[in-house]
Amino acid sequence: MESLLIEVSEWLASRGIDQWQFPPHRDRITAALHRGEVFLAEVEGRPIATLQLDNHADPEFWTAVDEPGNALYVHRMAVARDFAGFGVGGALLRWASDRAALMGKAWLRLDAWKDNLGLHRYYESQGFTLIRVINLPHRGSGALFQRPTR
Q: 21 pLDDT exceeds 60?
A: no
Query: Nearest-5° angle of CA 143, CA 30, CA 138?
Result: 35
- pTM of the predicted structure, to 2 decimals: 0.85
73 vs 139 pLDDT, higher one: 73
DSSP 8-state secondary structure symbol assigned to residue 81: G
Q: What average pLDDT does the segment 119-148 reach?
A: 94
pLDDT digits (tens, 9 = 90+) for 60-119: 999 999 999 999 999 988 888 888 889 999 999 999 999 999 999 999 999 998 888 989
pLDDT grade for 14, boundaries at 50, 70 and 90: low
**For position 116, what pLDDT does the model report?**
87
Most confident residue range from 16-20, 33-37, 92-96, 136-140: 92-96
- Ordered DSSP codes for 27-51: HHHHHHHHTT-EEEEEETTEEEEEE
CA distance 1 to 51: 9
